[in-house]
Amino acid sequence: MTRFPAIVRRISKASVCIAIVCVFAFMVGRSKTSGSLRVPAVFAAASAAANPATPSPYAPSYTKNGDLVPPTQYREWIYLTSGLDMSYTPRTAAQGDMSVFDNVFVNPEAYHGFLATGQWPDKTVFVLESRNAANKGSINKAGHFQSGGVQGLEIHVKDEARFPGKWAFFDVASESKATLFPQTAACYSCHASHAAVDTTFVQFYPTLLPIAQKHATLSAAYLKESASDEAK
């Protein structure tokens, strides 16, 4: 399931090449003038190349047959959390020592809306990215780090006019297509009955839970569940 980021890899390869060419051009230019300016000028060129213009706002778009066009720029979005081996059922022997991280991102416009109100605006888009957890590599002697390519990408979109429950889930199948999970899929029922805010798992997003508490936007189901957890 590693095909999706190919386009991302191509883009970043191109920008690294551009950065190298820019730095080289600056060094050549500077070496003809004052030697003392050489180092700062090189840094300036490198940092300008590493900070491209702010990405344009993302709005979900769909293909003719209802698939979502995947947001290829999600790695430039707001990072919310990483979960390691999260599961709602006990670990089975078949899983062996396989370990997986998930990383959650949300589009910046939705994030800023949430900071202001504790609620997700229409056109909010989340990406859940999975990557293998490794423990052997480089200088690492204990603990886990993320290794290798993307193993899976799932998307949660709020599009009030389009979906019956306002939200829908998609699985990224290729760089141009993410397929819709039907409303009967387990994604909808688990998120609806256990997620803290509007079918999203804000209880696991440490910077956002206090915002939801402040604006009193936690769902009744979540409040009931956490009250009964505390009573145990």
Q: Is 104 in the site for ligand HEC (CB under 6 A)?
A: yes
CB count in 10 Å sphere of residue 164: 8
The contacts of residue 214 (CB under 8 Å, 6+ apart) are 118
Of residues 79 and 181, the one with the C-beta less far from ligand HEC: 181
Q: Is 128 in the site for ligand HEC (CB under 6 A)?
A: yes
Q: How far is the CB of 18 from ligand HEC (least distance, A)?
A: 32
Of residues 55 and 206, the one with the C-beta less far from ligand HEC: 206
What one-character DSSP code corresponds to residue 125? Answer: E
Residue 195 three-state SS: coil
Q: Is 185 in the site for ligand HEC (CB under 6 A)?
A: yes
What one-character DSSP code corresponds to residue 93? Answer: G
Q: Is 211 in the site for ligand HEC (CB under 6 A)?
A: no
Rounded Cα distance, 76 and 213, in Å: 27
Token pair in block for residue 137? 């590599």
Q: Contact region for ligand HEC (CB under 6 A) — 6-14, 110-118, 141-149, 153-161?
A: 153-161
Q: Which of 30, 58, 102, 120 binds ligand HEC (CB under 6 A)?
A: 102
What one-character DSSP code corresponds to residue 68? Answer: B
Q: Contact region for ligand HEC (CB under 6 A) — 64-72, 107-115, 133-141, 196-204?
A: 196-204
Residue 3 three-state SS: coil
Q: Where are the alpha helices (DSSP H) in 32-118?
A: 38-50, 108-117
Q: Which of 156, 158, 168, 212 binds ligand HEC (CB under 6 A)?
A: 156
Binding site for ligand HEC (CB under 6 A): 81, 83, 86, 88, 102, 104, 126, 128, 154-156, 169, 181, 185-187, 190-191, 200-201, 204
